[in-house]
């Protein structure tokens, strides 16, 4: 079976990544973002859900979560680690998210944690065009970007915060939060992170 673009290396490293991803809590990792979530949020979409840490955190807040993860090995860990009845696991992939769109739903929270840098500029433009219509009128979209050397076997691109903000603006989104140069949780000196949160422009 061909590897889905952007997921290179994840199937082979799923066991190791499951340990890494679950070593930090949802609350600790997203403490800057969580206060910006709509208070009356009911539905969340977690794109690139990985081992389900974020999906489980959102479910723990009382939300119904659609967790999208294209790598079967990662979904298997997620189902095992986070068997919440509030999480609906879906095998779907960017940039099209065809199965998500087929459900004709919108979401109060859309998360893409460590996702966009796996796609080139043309793909990121298509992703934004496909994801923004899934965001409810009062919803927020939260994402993180990894900056640093590309790990062996991965597909990854240098993505500037300013480029993402400009791309989001073309689809009517305005930034609520921009945090750059966040220190890597695994203490890698050559890796930093950005946290970006968007809402529909007033």
Question: Is 9 inside a domain boundary?
Answer: no
pLDDT at 2 over 60: no
Segments forming the whole domain that contains residue 54: 14-200
Question: Is 5 inside a domain boundary?
Answer: no
Tell me the C-alpha distance between 115 and 119, whole Å: 8
CB-based contacts of 112: which residues, under 8 Å, 6+ apart?
Answer: 47, 48, 131, 141, 142, 143, 144
Question: Is 112 inside a domain boundary?
Answer: yes
pLDDT (tens digit, 9 = 90+) per residue, 113-137?
999 999 999 999 999 999 999 999 9
pLDDT band at 154 (very low <50, low <70, confident <90, very high): confident
**Residue tagged 């590897």 (tokens):** 3
Alpha helices by DSSP H, listed for the chain, are: 14-21, 26-29, 53-60, 72-81, 98-102, 121-131, 161-169
Question: Is 6 inside a domain boundary?
Answer: no
Question: Is 1 inside a domain boundary?
Answer: no
Q: Which of 72-81, 132-141, 153-162 has the highest mean pLDDT?
A: 132-141
pLDDT at 185 over 80: no
User: What pTM was computed for the model?
Assistant: 0.90
Tell me the C-alpha distance between 23 and 16, whole Å: 11
Question: Is 70 inside a domain boundary?
Answer: yes
Q: What pLDDT score does 1 carry? A: 44
Question: Is 71 inside a domain boundary?
Answer: yes
What is the number of domains present in the chain?
Answer: 1
Nearest to 129 by CA among 172, 89, 73, 99: 172
pLDDT at 21 over 90: no
CATH number at residue 23: 3.40.50.150
């Amino acid at each position: 079976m061909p590897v889905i673009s952007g997921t290179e290396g994840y199937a082979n490293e799923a066991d190791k990544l499951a340990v890494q991803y679950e070593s930090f809590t949802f609350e600790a990792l997203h403490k800057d973002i969580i206060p910006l979530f709509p208070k009356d949020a009911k539905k969340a979409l977690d794109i690139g859900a990985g081992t389900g840490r974020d999906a489980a955190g959102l479910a723990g807040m009382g939300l119904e979560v659609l967790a999208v993860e294209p790598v079967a090995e990662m979904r298997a860990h997620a189902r095992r680690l986070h068997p919440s009845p509030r999480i609906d696991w879906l095998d779907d992939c960017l940039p099209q998210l065809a199965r998500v769109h087929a459900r004709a739903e919108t979401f109060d929270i859309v998360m893409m944690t460590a996702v966009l840098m796996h796609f080139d500029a043309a793909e990121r433009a298509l992703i934004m065009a496909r994801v923004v219509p899934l965001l409810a009128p009062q919803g927020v979209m939260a994402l993180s970007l990894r900056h640093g050397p590309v790990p062996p076997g991965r597909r990854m691109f240098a993505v500037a915060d300013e480029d993402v903000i400009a791309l989001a603006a073309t689809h009517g989104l305005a930034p609520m939060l921009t945090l750059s140069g966040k220190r890597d949780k695994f203490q890698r000196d050559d890796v930093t992170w950005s946290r970006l949160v968007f809402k529909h422009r007033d």
